[in-house]
Amino acid sequence: MARYIFITGGVVSSLGKGLASAALGALLQARGFSVRLRKLDPYLNVDPGTMSPFEHGEVFVTDDGAETDLDLGHYERFTGVPARMTDSVSSGRIYSNVLEKERRGDYLGKTIQVVPHVTNEIKDFLHIGEDEVDFMLCEIGGTVGDIEGLPFFEAIRQFSHDQPRGQCIFMHLTLLPYLAASGELKTKPTQHSVKELQSIGIAPDILVCRSEHPIPEKEREKIALFCNVRKEDVVAAYDLKSIYEAPLAYHREGLDQAVLDAFQISPAPRPDLTIWQDVADRIYNTDGEVNIAIVGKYVQLEDAYKSIKEALTHGGMANRVKVNVEWVDAEVFDTQEPAQHLDGFHAILVPGGFGERGTEGKIKAAQFARERKIPYMGICLGMQLAVIEAARNVAGMATAGSEEFDHEAGGKRFEPVVYHLKEWVQGNAKVKRKVSDDKGGTMRLGAYDATLIEGSRVAEIYGTTSIEERHRHRYEVDTKYREKLEEHGLRFSGMSPDGRLPEIVEWADHPWFIGVQFHPELKSKPFAPHPLFSDFVRAAVETSRLV
């Protein structure tokens, strides 16, 4: 049976909790333990798939097709353990399950209440897969005291009492603000946060304190005394230059040892941190740098493209270069020429997105990269727009566009080079969709196979002609235009196994121009960079040497 670590937050960002969870998971792995990380989110959306990127950042997609919180991306990047549908749940999903059971009659007409019905549903979720690993790390989203999170806190309190003694511990993240005027760290926010946690029946075993400055011994003793933890269990979390230094930093501060001590695991295996030492070395000892532009529509919130930015960093590690990412709002190209904003970059990436806003600017970015022979990667919508650009400006189809934009506008304006995907094969079953279907969870989601053309650039990059990548889209390039586009040099170098759905396109006469319908960034890790991003950065390095 797994040992459970519940990670809660006081006055601290979600990135702080997610990063601490991921780093702790990596440290336990380094000691030879198996881990699984989970996220319990208090928002009422059934899943993040229908949430605006401005609201919640990117949607991370798992192999089995779950649309999840971006923290699961951190979990995967640090542990290498593929996330599953059962690793993320929201209040909305919990309430939806309870109401479905009530409508089916599962509760035999009883009055449905938060306690015990909602809390039992949460506990059932926590039990899933508990015999598969040594440690289950469960991060509770939000901040202690938030009304939305109270059912989760009550559920984990009950859960810890249901388990055998010593099977569960609580780790609480707080902030130690620094007052420059008086030159001191203030411990009161931490004390009040712990008091709030204790008032709902949870006593933290370990405190992780975010701080910009070293925590004096006197303040550490004060926190331990008033928060009822051992001094050794007050762990400092200082600001870092790179998130990938977190496992080494937390190990230096003794977080993994504090966890093992709390579970009375002694003697504990010594950690092998070779991988993370190599990662840190590749971050801080580089042989140059490249500048890459991300032309997107959600650039005001960088978390909307979190996995892409991290995958570019991983590609930099693979080439021992620093990748400088600059965010370019696609809408500026509606009134200004691309050269004003894209000159000087060594590569251009156009990510996915939804809706017509900003798409004409992205098409201009693709055209700029094609004509100037600058390395280009188009992801999901970025691939579709590269195909539209080729159709318009190379194949002579002036009205080429996407059905998505016509559906949004409510009238036909374009020749649909990109169409609404109505059916596809998933495993041994055929999936069918209509334009009028609900938006949430109805896309082509999760891992699908693709077959690459022998001798193509992507086949060389992957080193194979058979790949599996994660998808999240409901529009697809129409194969009836394939022959015409290939006559003009745009090669369809990757297709679904049945040959019906284009997965990858590339310009044969371009140094590096690749569009992919899937999301390769979701599988990239610092110790195992995705081959597409590694080669994309390599191409950017080559371009930088020519400038």
> What does the block give as tokens for 304?
């909307």
Residue that the structure tokens 């910009």 belong to:
212
Sign of CA dihedral 187, 190, 196, 199: negative
Active site (annotated) includes residue 519: yes
> What does the block give as tokens for 148?
């939305």
Q: Are 502 and 477 in contact (CB under 8 A)?
A: yes
Catalytic residue among 74, 346, 471, 519: 519
Q: Are 395 and 485 in contact (CB under 8 A)?
A: yes
What is the enclosing helix (H) or strand (E) of 347?
A: strand 347-350
Q: Are 304 and 296 in contact (CB under 8 A)?
A: yes
Q: What single-letter amino acid sits at 263?
A: F
Catalytic residue among 139, 253, 469, 521: 521
CA dist 384 and 392 (Å) reads: 12
Query: Distances from the Cα of 115 to the Cαs of 6, 136, 305, 330, 475, in angstroms?
Result: 20, 24, 38, 48, 43
The 3-class secondary structure across 232-262, one letter per residue, is HHEEEEECCCCHHHHHHHHHHHCHHHHHHHH
The 3-class secondary structure across 68-118, one letter per residue, is ECCHHHHHHHHHCCCCCHHHEEEHHHHHHHHHHHHHHCCCCCCCCCHHHHH
> What does the block give as tokens for 83?
């996330």
CA dist 251 and 270 (Å) reads: 11
Q: At what angle do helices 71-79 and 306-319 cross, to 10 degrees?
A: 20
Instruction: Look up residue 271 and give its DSSP letter.
Output: P
Helix (H, G, I), strand (E, B) or coil at 499: coil
Active site (annotated) includes residue 380: yes
Maximum CA extent, the chain: 75
Catalytic residue among 168, 209, 227, 380: 380
Q: Are 56 and 68 in contact (CB under 8 A)?
A: no
Question: Residue 38 forms beta bridges with which residues?
Answer: 138
Within 8 A by CB and 6+ apart from 546, the residues are none
Question: Residue 209 forms beta bridges with which residues?
Answer: 174, 236
> Is beta strand 168-175 parallel, antiparallel or unpaired with respect to 135-140?
unpaired
CA dist 21 and 439 (Å) reads: 31
Tell which residue, 472, 447, 441, has the closest CA to residue 96: 441
Please give the positions annotated as active site. Answer: 380, 519, 521
